[in-house]
Amino acid sequence: MESTQIELPESGSVFDLQIFNMQGVVVNNLTGRSGERLVLYRENLTPGVYFIRILDRNTGETAVQKLIVGSR
């Protein structure tokens, strides 16, 4: 089972993660607390390019990362 691990910074915040496909459609939502390691299992994602947007609920800061899912 292929997965991607996302380690959240230790800031005392709650984070919202959204996974978008290339059409801008949200395909997955996750929530985590500061210091947690979230595991995104890619088995339900078709091969292609996705974007992970992480929002810090306390500060409103966002970060975006590209995720490439290859064929199995």
Tokens of 30: 């996750």
Q: Domain range spanning residue 18?
A: 3-69
For the full predicted model, state whether its pTM sits above 0.85. Answer: no
Q: What is the pLDDT of residue 62?
A: 95
Tokens of 52: 């992970």
Q: What is the pLDDT of residue 42?
A: 85
**E strand or H helix at 46:** none
* pLDDT tens across the length of the chain (72 residues): 788 888 888 888 999 999 999 999 999 999 999 889 988 888 889 999 999 999 999 999 999 999 999 886
Number of domains the chain is built from: 1
Non-local (6+) Cβ contacts of 24 within 8 A are none
Let me know the angle formed at the C-alpha of 18 by 14 and 23, rounded to the nearest 5 degrees: 160
Q: What is the pLDDT of residue 72?
A: 65
CATH number at residue 62: 2.60.40.3080
Maximum CA extent, the chain: 38
